[in-house]
Chain A
């Protein structure tokens, strides 16, 4: 039976697995595979395991619990080794890299931030800033304008939206960077200008959250900041 891998920790991590359940239905029992001074938290994986809500949550719960007790390298969801023996071989073979990352991440947590600005609020600013956009908007508003005017208007506005979003993202990041150890950006989805993970030292989390709060205040009512964390350092392994 394949071995599902949740996380890699140092062998002196307490790995208290009591009360935790693995993936699958019924939930698989958790165990550790050790090799030298490293250990992997694993379980059996049933045939046909898929990314169901229950399983993703189980994975996350195991990793969060381990994280609370010491440095933890969270695996991406759904990683399957052929058996425990192969997991031990990997720990041995790549041990140096894992140890280095555990040391680097020790005492750090991930926070994930998404930020958005109300679209109408942004559009109002964009329309106010550009004579050309205002004229095109007037011309097309009645529904009488030509299709090419509409496309031209949209293209101008789309460019401005992208520009404003990028600028707001850079400004926000620049002010948050000093309180974070590392940053991992993703493409913001529709409606967001920022989608970013921060690695934050455990001792600096208050300061970090305070800085995010300040950014949210600066953004005013039109902006929504969603901060999730502390999380296992998924983005920094």
Chain B
């Protein structure tokens, strides 16, 4: 099994560790006051790319066909190709700080691999189109858009 558990985005001085996974919540949910305006979100529409559903299109079909074609050639291999992406720091980060012990920390916590690296960045936050999983297990199969 693979369970990546992330405590909240800003606690424990982990900087922007898990921001990507909750960006859609902060930007698209939360309470609004109808009469008030919102600051411009220009530049972060890219968020939607990752949230986009796989649409029925010839392109999608061809991609699946190709993936199936390739599959047979590779299926004999009990491939541990999945493990190539482990670049994240593994830290004890089980719901410390602000969460006030709401979690027991019984499940090991692995913070996102981008932790700390981008704190200085003034860039608008971008949803990575094909996020590297902190566990490294899924990204091999993810299509880069």
Interface residues of A, Cβ cutoff 8 Å to B:
5, 8, 45, 49-54, 56-57, 59-61, 64-65, 67-68, 73-82, 86, 90, 94, 101, 109-110, 112, 114, 116-120, 123-124, 127, 133, 137, 140-141, 150-151, 153-155, 157-158, 161-162, 184, 186-191, 195, 197, 202, 205-206, 209-210, 212-213, 216-232, 234-235, 237
Contact = CB atoms under 8 A, between A and B. Distances in A.
Contact of B124 (A51, A86, A133, A216): A51
A191 B141 contact: yes
A1 B112 CA distance: 37
A75 B31 contact: yes
A225 B139 CA distance: 13
B138 A118 contact: yes
A190 B61 CA distance: 14
B138 A116 contact: yes
Interface residues of B, number: 88
A53 B127 CA distance: 11
Given A57-B16, A157-B64, A220-B1, 14 more contacts: A5-B36, A51-B124, A53-B121, A60-B8, A60-B22, A61-B10, A67-B98, A76-B26, A78-B38, A137-B69, A158-B64, A217-B1, A226-B4, A231-B25
Contacts of B107: 209, 213
A130 B134 CA distance: 34
B4 A224 contact: yes
13 contacts: A5-B36, A53-B125, A56-B125, A77-B27, A90-B33, A118-B137, A151-B65, A153-B61, A206-B104, A209-B104, A216-B2, A230-B7, A237-B30
B88 to A, nearest CB: 12
A57 B19 contact: yes
Interface string B28-63: 111111011111111110000011111010101111
A223 B31 contact: no
B9 interface: yes
The 4 closest A-B pairs by CB, nearest first: A154-B61, A76-B30, A119-B141, A154-B65
